[in-house]
Structure 1
Amino acid sequence: MCRRASGPPSLLGQLLHDNVQYQGTCATAQFRNYRLSSAFQPIFGLAHRRPVGYEALLRASDETGMAVSPLQVFRSAATDEGTVHLDRTCRLLHAHNYQPLASREHWLFLNINPRVVVEGTRYGPFFSELLRRHQLAPAQVVVEILENEITDEGLLADSVNYYKELGCPVAIDDFGAGHSNFDRILRLAPDMVKLDRGLLQQARHTPTARRMLPNLVSLLHEAGCMVVLEGIEDETEALLALEAGADFAQGYFFARPAAAQHISTLATAAFDRLSRRARDDLHQETSRRNAMLQPIIDAFQRCSADYGAGAALALAAAHLVGTHEVLRCYVLDGDGIQIGSNVTPPGAEHTLHPRYAPLRSTTGSDWSGRPYFRAALAEPGALQITRPYFSITDAAMNVTLSIAMRRDGALHVVCCDIRYP
């Protein structure tokens, strides 16, 4: 149930309250010719399977009652002063209307207009007073900043630091759109990054983008950021979010925006379907991979046994490199240095594109940093299979089989590269 904030208002607070109309227990506001109200959309923890927060969204209508976009409303503000006034009115409205959902176990996500991020301090303090008036601890409020629209690096950093020092988590919104870059993530060190929906769309339709999305999430995790995938509209996109390792998800698939009193947070059925589908997909993918790899694994293990018994690699690998999709077989010493040249299928040297010719010779190359070498070294005698990765030998996606063994008393690692379909 919404409640009116108590306490004497500041001059700014009084000005904003003059624009707010309280209808029963909740509020709307007037700006120019637009009627403003709040809607809230849950943000779900993919591991928690429940809402961890709610993003406040502006809803507006014109004099005829027809819905208009928030962008149109902000365009009507025209000046910096008008934009600051409108932005603060929206945040006041959202903070008041959020009260039925307010809880220490949930975050309130509040968007701040980019112009206000850099210009707001010129118009006096506001935010800390807003939190006090509505009994919101700073730690409960995630400040969303659309950083790609802000070109002044110094002002952007100052604004982010202001909210951090206040105690609010900071989220960079729509990362991956416009001029977003990791340099800013490293400098600003936000608590969360919300990935632009365009990245999800690309992952849905492009295999390369789908492989990249989990790596992008992993890089953001390495930078100390939690990751939100937004704009998830169906089960396929929800599965992509799970596959990518995102922490949080937001979109129509889970719940549509609504007034606080009418919001739906029940997504149990959706999560149950997701779990079943993810398990089924993993089982099918594993079965397909095993069906494809098993003949190669059998040939690779025969090759490794023959090589360990003293056969020349070219002879030991003759059957292996004749297997469909095998690109090459080679041996590393105990330090990861390649011994001799690759054993490849007949005519393979003609399949490498001329622009990659400088990469063709790998004798003496140091592969000690590669996962297939390190995994084999950690567990001698056990077959290792990598995830798909980018191989510079042919500038393509590969899977590598490897096994460490002793030959003539020295540690060798036999490797086989397979074309990833």
Structure 2
Amino acid sequence: MDALDILTDLENVIPYFQPIFSADEQRVIGYEVLGRYQSEGNIVSLGNFFLDDQIPEEYKYEVDLLLVQKALELVLKLEDDISIFLNRDADLLMYGHGEPFLQELLAFEKRGLNLKRIVLEISEGNYKGDFGQLDHLLQYYRTYGIKIAIASIDSDTNYFERIGQLNPEIIKINLQPLKSNAAAASFTDLLFSLSLLARKVGATLLFENIEMSYQLQFAWKNGGRYYQGYYLHPPAEMFIERDILKERLKGKFHEFITYEKKKLEALYSAAEYFQDKIQDILVRNKKAKYEELISLIVKEMDQIAFRMYVCDEDGFQISSNIFKGESGWYSQQEYIQKNWSWRPYFLENIIKMRNDRKGILSDLYSDIETGETIRTFSIPISGNDYLFIDISYQYLFDNDQLL
């Protein structure tokens, strides 16, 4: 597609709208505006046009502004609680210091468009300008009620730092990496950190490129409030009925909830099973020293655990590690007096166990030494001391509802 063909045939530059659905209402809450070009009966994406470095910024701006104008003309007829997501490349946004674009929005405001409905999806991966000026412009736009969304994770930018600087209302996450098994594990870990950060800054997560049911389930499970993608509805020239997927989404969420409930019940049952097993040994061996006690527990949990040790309530290890290697269990004396209070949730879990006087089964995490995905069962054993039992990946795999 030649850029000149587009620039000399602007009548056939048209906006398409991809609906965005919400988890809480199960209905359309917004549309992302996408650029399309009508050519000989075919509809072609304008993505490559806007990404082409050879095309001057003023030409891109002309086409982009036309798309915005055509889109907002149609938006004026929409219900006034529907948001409109406009993709803005940072360089294009800074064209004319951002003033021409703002004036266009203000012209539509005079015609009844509430600018609080506008969400700017900022893409800044290749931005070479002054970030200070960009940030200043975005804060200026915010004074008109315009919201900011960061478009996607980009390895070329300090993504987490930028979220902290911009405090976006929406963080948009591309689920394309989930298609690759190799990338999925690291993506999940990254997303966990991102969801924590989003919660801290008060941002909403929007998952895009949802093309299959398992991606929708992933988005739902990982705190996504908003969803879009071909699995839900493709981009179209016209708006759709807001409740078109309400029953379908209710059904999918019911499936997800049922599945998660089963997993949570399995985790609860596993924790109760470990609690009863360990408590029985503790009651029958009240006078046993810790090394002897652990050796008794090893016999009971040989096919379940791969590491055990005792810490005091401040996190100092007061027993050696008992570790299961290829040739069986052995003692690692060098771990005595190491401190683990720096680990996430350690002290929080200690207080919870101390108050409840019962054990806790941890979330899934990657073991620092083995690199395997594991869980840890911890339980108060006497006074201010606590036993930690690391559950092997093999056991979790064999009981897959624990994964």
Helix, strand or coil at the partner of 1:67: strand
Q: Residue 68 of structure 2 aligns with which residue?
A: 91
Moved more, 236-245 or 326-335: 326-335
Q: Residue 3 of structure 1 aligns with which residue?
A: none
Label 1:203 to 1:377 Cα distance change in 2 as closer, same or farther (>3 A).
Answer: farther
Q: 2:125 aligns with which of 148, 173, 182?
A: 148
Q: 2:379 aligns with which of 403, 410, 413?
A: 403
Between the aligned partners of 2:297 and 2:136, the Cα distance in structure 1 is: 60
Moved more, 105-114 or 124-133: 124-133
Q: Residue 323 of structure 2 aligns with which residue?
A: 344
Between the aligned partners of 2:303 and 2:186, the Cα distance in structure 1 is: 23
Label 1:284 to 1:81 Cα distance change in 2 as closer, same or farther (>3 A).
Answer: same
Is 1:106–2:79 an aligned residue pair? no
> Contact 2:37 / 2:43 at 8 angstroms: preserved in 1?
yes
Label 1:96 to 1:374 Cα distance change in 2 as closer, same or farther (>3 A).
Answer: same
> Contact 1:144 / 1:170 at 8 angstroms: preserved in 2?
yes
Q: Residue 7 of structure 1 aligns with which residue?
A: none
Moved more, 284-293 or 177-186: 284-293
Between the aligned partners of 1:202 and 1:418, the Cα distance in structure 2 is: 28
Q: Residue 381 of structure 1 aligns with which residue?
A: 357
Equivalent AA in structure 2 for residue 374 of structure 1: E
Label 1:287 to 1:176 Cα distance change in 2 as closer, same or farther (>3 A).
Answer: farther
Helix, strand or coil at the partner of 2:315: coil
Label 1:261 to 1:288 Cα distance change in 2 as closer, same or farther (>3 A).
Answer: closer
Helix, strand or coil at the partner of 1:229: strand
Q: Residue 401 of structure 2 aligns with which residue?
A: none
Between the aligned partners of 1:294 and 1:375, the Cα distance in structure 2 is: 16
Shift of 1:287: 6.2
Helix, strand or coil at the partner of 2:221: helix
Moved more, 256-265 or 397-406: 256-265
Shift of 1:241: 0.4
Label 1:42 to 1:151 Cα distance change in 2 as closer, same or farther (>3 A).
Answer: same
Q: 1:233 aligns with which of 202, 208, 211?
A: 211
Between the aligned partners of 2:155 and 2:46, the Cα distance in structure 1 is: 19
CA deviations on 1:275-317 (whole Å, 9 max, x unpaired) are 232134224535665787776554333344456x221222222
Equivalent AA in structure 1 for residue 88 of structure 2: I
Between the aligned partners of 1:163 and 1:313, the Cα distance in structure 2 is: 63
Q: Residue 70 of structure 1 aligns with which residue?
A: 46
Between the aligned partners of 1:245 and 1:415, the Cα distance in structure 2 is: 30
Shift of 1:142: 0.7
Helix, strand or coil at the partner of 2:340: coil
Is 1:302–2:280 an aligned residue pair? yes
Helix, strand or coil at the partner of 1:361: helix
Between the aligned partners of 2:27 and 2:291, the Cα distance in structure 1 is: 57
Unpaired segments ≥5 residues, structure 1: 1-29, 353-358
Shift of 1:385: 1.0
Label 1:32 to 1:310 Cα distance change in 2 as closer, same or farther (>3 A).
Answer: farther
Shift of 1:205: 6.9
CA deviations on 1:139-174 (whole Å, 9 max, x unpaired) are 111111112131322332233223222221101112
Work out the percentage of aligned pairs sharing the same amino acid: 21
Shift of 1:175: 2.5
Between the aligned partners of 1:37 and 1:113, the Cα distance in structure 2 is: 19
> Contact 1:145 / 1:172 at 8 angstroms: preserved in 2?
yes
CA deviations on 1:248-278 (whole Å, 9 max, x unpaired) are 1111222222234545641123212312321
> Contact 2:169 / 2:202 at 8 angstroms: preserved in 1?
yes
The normalised TM-score by structure 1 is: 0.79
Between the aligned partners of 1:260 and 1:67, the Cα distance in structure 2 is: 14
Moved more, 262-271 or 221-230: 262-271
Moved more, 92-101 or 267-276: 267-276
Equivalent AA in structure 1 for residue 289 of structure 2: A
Helix, strand or coil at the partner of 1:149: coil
Is 1:49–2:26 an aligned residue pair? yes
Between the aligned partners of 1:183 and 1:220, the Cα distance in structure 2 is: 12
> Contact 1:140 / 1:168 at 8 angstroms: preserved in 2?
yes
Helix, strand or coil at the partner of 2:231: coil
CA deviations on 1:313-334 (whole Å, 9 max, x unpaired) are 2222224324213022211113
> Contact 1:385 / 1:400 at 8 angstroms: preserved in 2?
yes
Between the aligned partners of 1:203 and 1:49, the Cα distance in structure 2 is: 29
Q: 2:230 aligns with which of 227, 236, 252?
A: 252
Q: Residue 390 of structure 2 aligns with which residue?
A: 417
Shift of 1:115: 2.6
Counterparts of 1:18-33 in structure 2 under 5 Å? 31-33=7-9
Shift of 1:79: 1.6
> Contact 2:87 / 2:120 at 8 angstroms: preserved in 1?
yes
Q: Residue 221 of structure 2 aligns with which residue?
A: 243
Between the aligned partners of 2:361 and 2:289, the Cα distance in structure 1 is: 23
Between the aligned partners of 1:360 and 1:61, the Cα distance in structure 2 is: 73
Equivalent AA in structure 2 for residue 385 of structure 1: L
Between the aligned partners of 1:77 and 1:93, the Cα distance in structure 2 is: 25
